[in-house]
Chains A and B, each alone.
Chain A
Amino acid sequence: MEPGEAQNPLTQLRRGVIEYCVLALLTTDELYGFDLVKRLGESDSLVTSEGTIYPLLSRLRRVGWVTTTWRESESGPPRRYYAITAAGRHALAGFTSEWTRFRDSVDGLLASGDSNGAHRG
């Protein structure tokens, strides 16, 4: 890993947050891997390497936050669909309230830093 990449604070942050984004996407729809990855990829700055979503999905399955089912597709081989479980919804709800407070605090501090800088300038 490049030293610069390791020092990017968002790399660590993304890693911790992205699985909740996956859970959030699954609250409304069951999705198969390719669609799920594409939707995450469409959000700006969220995913740097789409392939890394798959190990994360495996982990979510192992801890019981998502389940998978194989379904026939009209074109090509069967596809693995991901669905959120009750435990997954519970985890997402917990994270959502924590994240809202965290985000507001960070935003507030960053905004005050901005206005201080503006006063000086």
Chain B
Amino acid sequence: MEPTVADPLVEDYLRRLEAAAVVLTPDRREDLLASIREHLDAARTSGEAHDEASTRALLDRLGEPAELVAAAGEQDDDGSPGGGAAAPGPVAYRRPGIGLEVAAALLLTAGSIVAVVGWLVGVVLVWTSRRWTLAEKLLATLVVPGGPALALWLSVLVSGQSQCTTTTKTDGAGNSIDLTSCEPSGALPAPYGLLLFLFWVVAPIVVAGILVHRARVRADREPPVAYYPGSQSRWGALEIAAVLLLGLGSFVLPFIGGAAGLMCAWLSDQWTRTEKWVATVIAVVGFVLPILVFVVLLAAFGGE
């Protein structure tokens, strides 16, 4: 008899339970997960879950993961049996968040501005998500390595350099003269350059947009997440991404970095409207500040 649970139905159930249990303290979460695993193992050992129908019946009797998590959250150590009085308020349900996926998409596009590091972190996040298929993960990784900002940086570097050619000619008296002509090098003729630019900059943004949309659709098919209003941490991946982009994004790439942070902030379902407006003001300041710094620097060094 198999000592561990390997049935896909059971695995799916345990995965949903794990996802729902994030609202619990680590102790309670471990306790609940260990107990349910033990229960399922025992059921299997006793031959109770031998086929799909009996496994479904077993899981039905256990109850919905959200229900179990709610029960685990209610059990407070105040010594009063029943535990109802000390429960941290009624359980609420919210749609599953896609903070991870949004952060991944932003890092793959806007995040690539922080050299290649931002993009690499984005790739790691993409492969961490369980809401994308293998093909989608490959697409996100391969379109395009380095992200759109790498193309921008490269084009800045390339156009900044001049290409010089030296030709040696001989004049009428037999003296050789070196003629050096320098031209800014457009690496590729205009139409190809434009196509390459479109592929390199626009395609990753389109891909990121499509993948975020798909993640949203898939997340909505998952069971709602149980939580206690007010007791949950308000720092999901989305909120952290918002703060980082609002704080640093504008300095790395004026406007776009801040705008991405703003998008994250307004997508958050953890922040209040007031907090989002505060974030917006910060973003505007973050947009104006780099310009001011630039103007000041220009005034200071421009005269030389």
Contact = CB atoms under 8 A, between A and B. Distances in A.
Interface stretch (B77-85, B237-245, B269-277): B77-85
A52 to B, nearest CB: 4
B137 interface: no
A51 B67 contact: yes
Secondary structure of the A side of the interface?
helix
A121 B72 CA distance: 47
A62 interface: yes
Interface in B81-98: 81-84, 90-91
Interface string A7-38: 00000100110011000000000001110010
A58 B39 contact: no
A113 interface: no
B41 A50 contact: no
A76 B68 contact: no
A109 interface: no
A49 B82 CA distance: 16
B63 interface: yes
A55 interface: yes
B136 interface: no
A75 B47 CA distance: 11
Contacts of A32: 42
A46 interface: no
A76 B63 contact: no
A39 interface: no
Nearest to B33: A54
B81 A51 contact: no
A58 B67 contact: no
A12 B42 contact: no
Interface string B41-72: 11111100000000000000111100110111
A56 interface: yes
A63 B83 CA distance: 12
Interface of A: 1, 12, 15-16, 19-20, 32-34, 37, 41, 48-52, 54-59, 62-63, 73, 75-77, 79-80, 91, 95
15 contacts: A1-B90, A15-B82, A19-B81, A37-B39, A49-B67, A49-B71, A50-B63, A52-B67, A54-B39, A55-B31, A55-B75, A56-B75, A58-B31, A59-B83, A77-B38
Given A50-B61, A54-B35, A58-B75, 10 more contacts: A1-B90, A1-B91, A12-B84, A20-B81, A34-B42, A34-B46, A54-B72, A55-B71, A62-B77, A77-B41
